[in-house]
Amino acid sequence: MLRLGGRALAVGLSLLAAAANAAHPVAAKRAMVVAQEPLATDVGVEILRSGGNAVDAAVAVGFALAVTLPSAGNLGGGGFLLARFADGRAAFIDFRERAPEKATRDMYLDDHGRLTEDSLTGWRAAAVPGSVRGLEHAHRKFGRKPWTELLTPAIRLARQGFPVSYALADSLRTSARLAKFSESRRIFLKNGEYFSPGETIVQADLAGTLERIAKSGSAEFYGGETARRLVAEMSANGGLFTLADLKGYKVVERAPLTGGYRGYELITAPPPSSGGVGVLQMLGMLEGSGYDREGPGSASAIHYVAEVMRRYYADRSEHLADPDFHRVPVAGLLARPYLEQRRNTIDPARASSSDAIRPGDPAPAERAETTHLSIVDAEGNAVALTYTLNGGYGSGVTVPGLGFLLNNEMDDFSAKPGEPNMFALVQGEANAIQPGKRPLSSMTPTIVLRDGRLFMTLGAPGGSRIITGVMQVLLNALDFGMNVQDAVNRPRFHHQWKPDELYMEEGFSPDTIALLRGRGHKVASTAGVALVEAIQVKADRLEGATDPRGHGKAAGY
C-alpha cells in the first residue's frame, strides 16, 4: 500500500484548514468517478459516457492508472474489487498477490536472524501479481464493453505520453527506490536528469505490453510473451517466481463481509483483507458507547475512537491472515458479546497502555503504494476498487523491455513474526510466509446502504492507516452528518496498538492535543492518515469527493 509522505502531501494537508469550513463535493446527475489521478478519472467518465457500466469504467481506470500513477497504479501488483449492483447483488473479487512456490518462512532473515531489506527492495521482494487477471475476471463476469476498448485509453497515454504534473515530477524525483535500478532510472528518472512539470513522459515499453494484453487478454501476461520475458528477467536477477507461478495464479471470488451500524448496512472486504473486519469491529465497539456526545474533533471522541483502534490492531496482529491458510475467526471477532467485552476494557477518561492490551480471545472460526477508485454509474451500480504495489513504486524494479514496475508485497507478510514491517505493523505467526499464500492486507473498499439503497462508496491507499482513515470518513458522514467532501477533508488521527503512539494530522487545536496528553496519550504528528476517495448518493444527484491530501479528481455527468 502506498506510503503517504513527502512535499506534495504536505501541500495538500496545508489546504485542509481552509477547506474544512467550506468544502463542497463535485455534483453530477447521472454518474461519477473519483480516482487519485485526474487523467485516469477522465478515462472513467469517457467509458461511462460511451455506454460502459461501473465495472467497465473501473477496469479502464485501473489500466490508465498503471500509466499515469506509476507509484501505485499497476500491472505488477494486486488488489480487491468490491461491486454492488442496482439489482442488489454484491461481489468481491480477490486478486491479491501470492507468495511464489520458492518462498520460505525465513527467507528475509540473515545468518543472525535479523531482517534484511530484501522484502522491500529488488527482485526478491515481488510476489506473484494479480492485477491483470483480476481486472479481466471482473470484465468477463460483469462488464459489457469490448476488452480492447477498455485498454485503448491506457495504451494511448503510454504510447503518446502525457504531461507530467507537479505532483508526479516531485514524486519521481524523491523516490530513492527507483534510483537503484537502471531500467527504472532510464524510464522514470531520465537517468538522473528528472522530469519537469509539463514535460511529456512516454512509456513505449509499457504501451507494447498493454497492446499485447489488449489483443490476447490475461493469458498474455501469465503465459505469453510478456510472461516469458518477465520470468527470464526474474531468473537472471535472483527473483523468485517462475512461469509455473504465473500460470498457476488464480483469482478468488469471496463473499463480501457485511454488517450494520446505526441503521446503515455496510458491504466491505473479507480476509485476506484485514480492513473490513477492522471497520466493522471498531464500529461495533463504538455503537452505543456515546463516544460522539461532545462532537467531532473533541478530545473525548478522539480518545474513545483511539482506544477502539488500539484494541482492533491488537486483534489484527494475531487473528487475521489468508483464510485459505488460516482459520480466521471472523464471526467471533464481530460477535456482539466479544465487542462488548472489548469495549468494557476502555476507560473513558484515561488512555490504555499498549503493553497491557493483548489480542482478545474470540470464539474460534467455524469450519465452513496503493490507490483507490470509486465509481457509480447511471444505472446505480457501484464499484470500490483498491489495488497496490505496496510501497511507493513497489520494489523499485521496472521489468526491462516490459515497462511495468513490480510490487514489494512480500513485506506484507510477517517476514519475522513479532517484528514490525515497513508500516510499523506488528504481525503474528498466522501471517508468516508460505508458498501460494496471500499476504494480509489493509485495503478496505467499502459500500454503504441506507434502507436498502446505495448511500456511499469509498476506500483509500495508506498502508496500515487505510482502515482508520476509511472508518473516520464513515463516522463523519454517518454520525456527524457531514457532506462527503467535509467528511473526507476533516483532519484524521491513527492508533495501531504498536508503537504506542496517537498520530495526529495538522488541523487539531492545541487545546485538544493538550487534553489528549492529559489523558495519557503519547501524541505524535503525522503527514497523513490515508487518502480517501468517496461518492455519496443523494436523492437527486451524486456527490464525489477526492482527498485534498492527494492530487486526484472527482468528475461525472
Mean pLDDT confidence for 75-100:
98
User: 288 and 183 in one domain?
Assistant: no
Instruction: Measure the CA–CA gap between 269 and 439, rounded to whole angstroms.
Output: 14
Using a 10 angstrom Cβ sphere, with 0-12 exposed, 13-18 middle and 19 or more buried, the burial of residue 295 is exposed
Same domain assignment for residues 172 and 51: yes
Peptide bond into 256 cis (omega under 30): no
Kindly state whether residue 136 falls inside one of the protein's structural domains: yes
Residue 534: name the closest of 554, 550, 549, 551 by CA.
Answer: 554
Distance separating alpha carbons of residues 459 and 77, to the nearest angstrom = 18
| Beta-strand pair 446-450/257-261 | unpaired
pLDDT of the residue at 184: 98
Write down the pLDDT at residue 4. 41
Is 158 in the same domain as 304?
A: no
Checking if the pLDDT of 402 tops 50, the result is yes
pLDDT tier at 6, thresholds 50, 70, 90? very low
Q: Other C-beta atoms within 10 Å of 36: how many?
A: 29
- Ordered alpha helix ranges (H), 389-497: 466-478, 484-489
Cα R_g (the chain), whole angstroms: 22
List pLDDT tens digits, range 206-264.
999 999 999 999 999 999 999 999 999 999 999 999 999 999 999 999 999 999 999 99
The pLDDT of 527-550, averaged and rounded, is 97
Q: What is the pLDDT of residue 365?
A: 56
The pLDDT assigned to 12 comes to: 45
192 and 279 share a domain?
A: no
Nearest to 317 by CA among 163, 499, 481, 525: 499
Same domain, 73 and 56: yes
Question: Would you say residue 31 lies in a domain?
Answer: no
| Same-domain check for residues 265 and 218 | no
pLDDT band at 341 (very low <50, low <70, confident <90, very high): very high
In this prediction, residue 426 carries a pLDDT of 75
Residue 483 lies in a domain: yes
Q: Do 356 and 479 reside in the same domain of the chain? A: yes
β-sheet bridge partners, residue 449: 265, 454
- Domain residue limits at 218: 37-80+89-251+374-413
pLDDT digits (tens, 9 = 90+) for 296-316: 999 999 999 999 999 999 999
Residues above pLDDT 90, as percent of the chain: 90
> What is the pTM for the complete model shown?
0.94
Residue 62 in contact with residue 135, Cβ under 8 Å? yes
370 is catalytic: yes
Tens-place pLDDT, residues 320-336:
999 999 999 999 999 99
Q: Is residue 12 part of a domain?
A: no
pLDDT at 38 over 50: yes
What confidence score (pLDDT) does residue 363 get?
Answer: 76
Is the per-residue pLDDT at 13 higher than 80?
no
Which cell goes with 305? 475512537
DSSP conformational letter for 497: S
Q: Which is more confident, 18 or 460?
A: 460
- pLDDT for position 416: 85
DSSP-derived secondary structure for 316-369: HHHH-S-TTTS---HHHHH-HHHHHHHHTT-BTTBPPPGGG-----PPPPP---
CB 65 within 8 A of CB 37: yes
Give yes or no: residues 462 and 495 share one domain.
Answer: yes
- Mean pLDDT rounded to a whole number for the chain: 94
* Residue 7: inside a domain: no
Q: Is the pLDDT of residue 11 over 60?
A: no
Separation of alpha carbons 156 and 154, rounded Å = 5
Average pLDDT over residues 176-195: 96
Q: How far apart are CA 425 and CA 235, in angstroms?
A: 31
Task: Let me know if residue 25 belongs to a domain.
Answer: no
Statement to judge: residues 364 and 389 lie in one domain: no
Give the HSE-up count for residue 128: Cα atoms under 13 Å, Cβ half-sphere: 31
10 Å Cβ neighbour count for 325? 16
Mean pLDDT of the region 413-426: 79
Residues 374-389 have a mean pLDDT of: 98
- Indicate if the pLDDT at residue 124 is higher than 90: yes
What is the reported pLDDT for 22? Answer: 59
On whether residue 164 sits in a domain, the answer given is yes
What tens digit of pLDDT does each residue of 433-470 get?
999 999 999 999 999 999 999 999 999 999 999 999 99
Banded model confidence at residue 424, pLDDT cuts 50, 70, 90: confident
Residues in contact with 261: Cβ distance below 8 Å, sequence separation at least 6, in sequence order:
280, 283, 284, 287, 474, 478
Look at residue 100 in the predicted model and tell me its pLDDT: 98
pLDDT score for 486: 98
State the pLDDT at residue 17. 45
Kindly tell me if the per-residue pLDDT of 141 is higher than 90.
Answer: yes
Res. 544 pLDDT band, cuts 50 70 90: very high
Q: Which residues contact 428 (CB under 8 A, 6 or more apart)?
A: 317, 318, 359, 414, 417, 418
Structurally, how many domains does the chain consist of? Answer: 2
Q: Does 383 share its domain with 324?
A: no
Residue with more model confidence, 420 or 380: 380
Beta bridge partners of 553: 35
> What CATH number has the domain bearing residue 453?
1.10.246.130
Percent of the chain with pLDDT over 70: 95
- Contact predicate 204/152, CB 8 Å: no
478 and 409 within one domain = no
Indicate whether 388 and 456 sit together in one domain. Answer: no
Burial 212-221 (b: 16+ CB within 10 A, else e): bbbeebbebb
**Active-site pick, 121, 152, 268, 370:** 370
Confidence of residue 23 (pLDDT cuts 50, 70, 90): confident
Instruction: Confirm whether 217 is domain-assigned.
Output: yes
